[in-house]
Structure 1
Amino acid sequence: MHVWAGRLLIGIAVGHLLLAFASLIPQLTVLAPDGLPGVISAPWHPPQMDRQAAFWSSLGSFAGAQLLWGIWVLAAAQAGQRPSRGTGLALLVLTALQVTLAPYSGFWLNFLPALLLSANVPGSRGAEATS
């Protein structure tokens, strides 16, 4: 189950980044006329809101952290280690907050890996304790 949770986290993050970059690349010269370093400069006024939205929906989004989270979960599962149940509960709480703040979003997809990580698989700890 944890292998699938890790794969789902990675897949959702990569999918989000691909969609964000696909929508960002055609407008890159408009969004970053002076190059990427000036894209998120302060202050945030209405003339720069399109630049801010482009950054926070791609590189500045949760997708990068989610990708790392998925890689960690997958690596732990493949090494025979089981991430703590708190890992799944933390993702569940975070996802519930994200869905509350942005109900018309892809955050709903994170409920499945969160529930997989939160599930207490009977016998999985008992097998480790007896060997």
Structure 2
Amino acid sequence: MELWAGRLLVFVAATHLLLAIIGIVPHMGSLAPDGLLGAVDPPWNPQHPDRQAAFWTSLGSFAGPQLLWGLWIIRSASTGQRLPGSTGLALLILTVVQVSLAPVGGFWLNLLPAVLLIAAEVSGRMPARA
């Protein structure tokens, strides 16, 4: 279950990043006319909302950390290492907060990996039946 949860997290994150980057590459000249460094103003200064949207939907999104989280889960599951307790619960809480703040979007896709991780934690704690 943990392996599938990690794979789902990686798939969702990689797909999100790929689609976001495909969406901004054609507009890169107008989004970063002076180069990438300093292309994004602080979020409290909305002079360039197109630059803000491009950054926060691609490299500034949760997709990067989610990708790393999924790779870590895959690595741990592949090597037989136990994940820290409440890893699934942490993902579930984060996902519920994200869905509450942005109900229209892809955060719903993280519910399945969270449930898989919680199920793996519960089944790992249950005593073996003789």
CA RMSD of aligned residues (A): 1.8
> Which TM-score applies when normalising by structure 2?
0.89
Partner of 1:102: 102
Determine the C-alpha separation between the residues in 1 that align with 2:124 and 2:116.
16
Partner of 2:63: 63
Aligned partners of 1:9 and 1:66 also within 8 Å? yes
Partner of 1:35: 35
Partner of 1:47: 47
Determine the C-alpha separation between the residues in 2 that align with 1:118 and 1:39.
40
Determine the C-alpha separation between the residues in 1 that align with 2:117 and 2:42.
39
Residues 88-127 of structure 1 aligned to structure 2 (within 5 Å): 88-119=88-119, 120-122=121-123, 126=127
The verdict on how the C-alpha distance between 1:123 and 1:36 changes in structure 2, with shifts beyond 3 A counting, is: closer
Per-residue deviation, residues 96-130 of structure 1 (Å, max 9, x unmatched): 01001111100000000011011145367646xxx
The percent of aligned pairs where both chains have the same amino acid is 59
Runs of 4 or more consecutive aligned structure 1 residues displaced over 4 Å after TM superposition: 123-127
Partner of 1:21: 21
Partner of 2:82: 82
The verdict on how the C-alpha distance between 1:60 and 1:43 changes in structure 2, with shifts beyond 3 A counting, is: closer
Aligned residue pairs: how many? 127
Aligned partners of 2:41 and 2:47 also within 8 Å? no
The verdict on how the C-alpha distance between 1:97 and 1:47 changes in structure 2, with shifts beyond 3 A counting, is: same
Determine the C-alpha separation between the residues in 1 that align with 2:43 and 2:118.
41
Aligned partners of 1:2 and 1:82 also within 8 Å? no
Partner of 1:72: 72
Higher helix share: 1
1:83 Cα offset (Å): 1.4
Determine the C-alpha separation between the residues in 1 that align with 2:46 and 2:40.
13
